[in-house]
Amino acid sequence: MGSESSKVKENVKVLMPIYLYPDKMNMEIYRRVVKSSDNLQMTLIVNPNNGHDSIEAPNSDWEKVVKEIANINSVGYVHLSYMKRDLSLVRKEIQGYAKNGWKVKGIFFDEAPSDLSHLQAIRRLSEFTHHAFGKDNVKVFLNPGVPVHKKYFDFADGVVIFENFYRHFDRELFRHRKSTSKKSAVIIRGVPDTKITPIMNELKDCNVGYVFMTGVNCEFHTPVRKYFFEKIGGFRKD
């Protein structure tokens, strides 16, 4: 990484999606992620079968993940299909994460809606999540993947306002969002190596709260050397 690595600012929070079944090979990936959490502020998104398997206790493979992540921030994946899913099933999955020994500390709602017509429904799901877990510091993340009204930030701990490839990255999304920037998250795919440091510093200057990036020719769920969590390890200090 050379001298460039010394230019990235500290205190980057990583929103880490690992949507992989924990077989023997993938368990090594989970362990690498957990090890990275020693040096990074990380929230790990746990995704057992798109959230459907949360309604049961973790099987023997997932028990290994649960053991590894017990001491780091983690949230359970639940998809909303932009509010087209049966909400009774959504609530069962939330309760499953809370009651069945998954050891997560909140919920990541994927495919969340972006328009205000669903605001109250999302707010109720957030309240349901807090009630289901029945603990302090329960986390709720939303992923509409696009900018949303600031009212969504009132009850969410993090909102993904950009999820797309680097070629579509628009810096203007963040420059005028001071009131919500700390809760904003970005997921950027296909980032060239030479752009990682400048993007990190720019997002930090805009006070963006959470970030995840993958490298060029790195598929979203392919945790190899180009994964962001391994790159950022050398980018900790000015």
pLDDT in tens, 104-140: 999 999 999 999 999 999 999 999 999 999 978 899 9
CA angle 210-50-67, nearest 5°? 70
User: Is 191 within 8 Å of 220 (Cβ atoms)?
Assistant: no
| 178 token code pair | 């001071």
Q: Report d(CA 158, CA 43) in Å as an integer.
A: 10
pLDDT of residue 108: 98
pLDDT in tens, 66-79: 999 988 999 999 99
Average pLDDT of the segment spanning 10-20:
80
pLDDT of residue 227: 47
Q: What percent of the chain has pLDDT over 90?
A: 53
Tell me the whole-structure pTM to 2 decimals.
0.89
Average pLDDT of the segment spanning 153-159:
95
Residue 76 pairs in a beta bridge with: 46, 107
Lowest-pLDDT choice from 42-51, 148-157, 186-195? 186-195
pLDDT of residue 8: 43
pLDDT in tens, 22-80: 999 889 888 888 888 887 788 999 999 999 999 999 999 999 999 999 889 999 999 99
Q: From the CB of residue 160, how many other CB atoms can be counted at a distance below 10 Å?
A: 25
Lowest-pLDDT choice from 21-25, 87-91, 102-106, 213-217? 213-217
pLDDT of residue 5: 41
Contacts of 97 (CB under 8 A, 6+ apart): 51, 54, 76, 78, 104, 107, 132
